[in-house]
Amino acid sequence: MNLWFRLFLMLFRRPWRKPVDGLATTVIRMRVWPLDLDLNRHVTNGRYFTMADIGRMDFVLRSGAYRVALRHRAVPIVGDTWGKFRRELKLFELFEIHTRILGWDDKWSFMEHRFVSKGRVIGVVIMRGLFRAAKGTVPPAEFVRELGLAERSPEMSPWLTTWSQSCDDMSRQLREEEGMAIQPRPVSEPEQAVK
């Protein structure tokens, strides 16, 4: 099923969904449709990331994060995502996406999307992102303070901070590679004309 249809359905249901605290877990329910499947007849791995977007939008709307973003005239930016797949979701299977904030550092906020079916975690999508305004990135501590949360992040698991560091390392490497690619090539001595 198309992302837009699911997004509109989530927005249509929004008036009946209660606001939540910024550290709460939101839950949306979905069903697997034919367009979600790959050639192996289960949900394609890329579709998990797309459906996580809908879970994140539901969380941003219900937690009030969108109001904070509007005050700052900021837009959400996804920096990195990572997925863990444990078992498959098949055609017409019902499942839920459980979305929550795991924590934040001086630049990034970290969110988790758990895909749950029949009481089991099917897969997990982790995202680190930020809110960017014309004047720059809105510091996560400032953002969560306006959400009514303490500025100090909940303690994050070592695997999460290690993953974030690996994303930073990759970004640094890519910048270095791009810098090497655009450096002017050294000019060689002109060849002496053969007489």
- CA–CA separation, 74 and 68 (whole Å): 8
49 lies in some domain: yes
pLDDT of residue 89: 96
15: phi then psi, degrees, rounded to nearest 5 = -55, -25
10 lies in some domain: no
pLDDT of residue 18: 83
pLDDT of residue 32: 94
85 lies in some domain: yes
Q: Specify whether the backbone of 64 is left (phi greater than 0), alpha (psi in -120 to 50) or beta.
A: left
181 lies in some domain: no
How would you write the pLDDT of the chain (195 residues) with one tens digit per residue? 457 666 666 666 655 578 899 999 999 999 999 999 999 999 999 999 999 999 999 999 999 999 999 999 999 999 999 999 999 999 999 999 999 999 999 999 999 999 999 999 999 999 999 999 999 999 999 999 999 999 999 999 999 999 999 999 999 999 999 988 766 666 655 555 554
91 lies in some domain: yes
pLDDT of residue 9: 65
Residue 48 belongs to domain with CATH number: 3.10.129.10
Q: In the chain, how many domains are there?
A: 1
pLDDT of residue 1: 42
82 lies in some domain: yes
129 lies in some domain: yes
Helix axes 45-63, 65-72, angle to 10 degrees: 80
- CA–CA separation, 28 and 95 (whole Å): 9
pLDDT of residue 19: 85
143 lies in some domain: yes
Residues of the domain holding 41: 23-167
According to DSSP, residue 45 is labeled H
